[in-house]
Amino acid sequence: MNRQLEDLIAKSNNIVFFGGAGVSTESGIPDFRSVDGLYNQQWKYPPEQIISRSFFEANPEEFYRFYRAKLIVKDARPNAAHLRLARLEAQGRLKAVITQNIDGLHQAAGSKNVLELHGSTLRNYCTRCGKFYPVEFIAESEGVPRCECGGIVKPDVVLYEESLDQKVLTRAVHALEAADLLIVGGTSLAVYPAAGLLRYYGGRELVVINMTPTPADRMATLCIQQPIGQVLGE
């Protein structure tokens, strides 16, 4: 337990958490940019290219092959970080979780106000008629998953070259503007425009919990280079 962090949490009544892939690595979900991350694995095409809108449209079979293998994670469970954040929300201290993750683990842990900047693998929709499909439909299908109407069923995740949801962005900005403590965890702050949201935070206290240095470290009240589940777990 980090005493300085716990003191900051105890003094704060409007906490916002901003997190990335490092929050879920302790649940067995690989991140993107570490040595063992998805972006350093060998595929026929670079993963950054595969999860782009233009690749999805030009080569959907290869997109779904990668998507099923690497982005749908079965049997993952919330870890200590997810559970602690849910408890802080239940106590009325944490007002929002802003996440770059698409795994739904914050909600599985009990968090209610989760702002998913990059969407969720748990939501899927027909690009023709809009019919909703659960993640199992994608996971258990072969090739390009298609709706009964014939349209392609696309995951509700934000691909490269796609815009973030404006309503989610607006809610995230409002949460950051009102916060008195911002905890940034498990993110290298290398993905924009998501990382650019930090400029809307006007509070005094900033905590960064990440295994490697981030651009926000120089502005932080406290920097902790440890696994986030170990830091936030009680």
Catalytic site residues?
A: 118
- The edge-to-edge listing of strands for the beta sheet with 132-133 is 132-133, 119-126, 153-157
Separation CA 93–CA 97 (nearest Å):
12
Q: Write the single-letter amino acid at 17.
A: F
Geometric angle at alpha carbon 75, from 140 and 143, rounded to 5° = 20
Separation CA 158–CA 160 (nearest Å):
7
Separation CA 78–CA 121 (nearest Å):
15
- Output the 3-class SS for 37-90: CHHHCCCCCCHHHHCEHHHHHHCHHHHHHHHHHHHCCCCCCCCHHHHHHHHHHH
Its sign, for the CA torsion 52, 54, 57, 59, is negative
Distances (CA, A) of 3 to 10, 128, 171, 224: 10, 53, 31, 12
